[in-house]
């Protein structure tokens, strides 16, 4: 599959990072996100009573950092990309869960107790219930919506390219649902969907695609490994 056109559907700025990795692997990326991130609010964030921060995405880090100069609180991040974003934003103490939301809660609990509750700056519609998971582990937490994610159906030029794509990369269940809705009226029986997890793959299982595969771990490294595996199988 080297040199093949691979559709990158994740939000910016992550899409640019994924495209860079694809080029390094010898693929030709088509960057056409199915979701757009919009920051919410501009007022300074009140951190009274907050003892730690937990981020489920780099977008949450960026939106929080734009509204707060606080960088001394301990930070817990869901994975490598979010950890890198937090470090780049100037946070000094960042712990990575190296997984998904389910892995993040135990990582936060392992760092407790804190001098206050855990604040989880994130999207209006979070993919998982981090606050509930933390409560179940005895950690007081509250969520704060700092950005929203808006769906974007493929534009006509992208839609015209879909039948000839080698694969599409999906990083979130919501992006997968946007694609599934599009495929209902624009079938792509030769397209292969490579998904970050089983949860991401679920909306596409009845979309009539050539193949829907999920990464073994919810990391981009594991997702891109699916491309390498597909290329080896094709030789």
- Residues 15-52: tens digit of each pLDDT: 999 999 999 999 999 999 999 999 999 999 999 999 99
- Tell me, what's the pLDDT at 229? 76
Q: Which domain holds residue 209?
A: 5-34+152-234
**Do 229 and 156 share a structural domain?**
yes
**Do 220 and 133 share a structural domain?**
no
* Joined tokens for residue 13: 């700025």
DSSP class of 52: E
**Do 205 and 185 share a structural domain?**
yes
Mean predicted confidence (pLDDT) in 53-57: 95
Domain CATH code at residue 50: 3.40.50.10090
Q: Flag whether pLDDT at 2 surpasses 60.
A: no
Binned at pLDDT 50, 70 and 90, residue 101 comes out as confident
Mean predicted confidence (pLDDT) in 161-170: 94
- Which pairs from 77-84 meet CB under 8 Å and 24+ separation? 77/104, 78/103, 78/104, 79/218, 79/219, 80/219, 80/220, 80/221, 81/14, 81/17, 81/220, 82/55, 82/56, 82/57, 82/58, 84/58
CA atoms of 169 and 2, how far apart (whole Å): 15
Estimate the crossing angle of helix 58-65 against helix 80-88, to 10 degrees: 20
- Tell me, what's the pLDDT at 1? 59
Instruction: Calculate ∠ Cα 108-114-119, nearest 5°.
Output: 65
Question: Among 149, 183, 205, where does a domain finish?
Answer: 149
Q: Flag whether pLDDT at 170 surpasses 70.
A: yes
Average per-residue pLDDT for the chain: 92
**Do 161 and 206 share a structural domain?**
yes
- Tell me, what's the pLDDT at 234? 43
CA dihedral 29, 30, 33, 39 (to 10 degrees): 60
Cβ 59 vs Cβ 11: under 8 Å: yes
| Reported pTM | 0.75
Give the total number of structural domains in the chain: 2
Cβ 173 vs Cβ 191: under 8 Å: no
**Do 184 and 116 share a structural domain?**
no
């Amino acid at each position: 599959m080297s040199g093949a056109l691979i559709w990158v559907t994740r939000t910016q700025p992550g899409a640019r990072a994924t495209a860079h990795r694809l080029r390094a692997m010898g693929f030709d990326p088509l960057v056409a996100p199915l979701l757009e991130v919009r920051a919410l609010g501009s007022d300074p964030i009140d951190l009274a009573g907050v003892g730690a921060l937990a981020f489920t995405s780099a977008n949450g880090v960026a939106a929080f950092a734009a509204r707060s100069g606080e960088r001394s609180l301990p930070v817990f991040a869901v994975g490598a990309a979010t950890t890198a974003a937090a470090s780049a934003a100037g946070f000094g103490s960042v712990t990575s869960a190296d997984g998904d939301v389910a892995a993040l809660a135990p990582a936060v609990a392992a760092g407790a107790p804190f001098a206050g509750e855990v604040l989880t700056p994130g999207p209006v519609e979070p993919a998982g219930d981090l606050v509930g998971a933390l409560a179940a582990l005895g950690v007081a937490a509250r969520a704060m919506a700092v950005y929203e994610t808006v769906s974007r159906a493929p534009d006509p030029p992208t839609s015209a390219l879909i039948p000839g794509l080698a694969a599409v990369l999906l990083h979130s269940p919501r992006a997968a649902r946007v694609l599934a809705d599009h495929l209902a009226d624009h079938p792509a029986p030769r397209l292969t969907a490579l998904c970050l997890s089983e949860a991401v793959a679920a909306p596409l299982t009845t979309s009539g695609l050539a193949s829907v595969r999920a990464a073994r771990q919810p990391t981009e490294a594991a997702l891109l490994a699916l491309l390498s595996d597909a290329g080896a199988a094709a030789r």
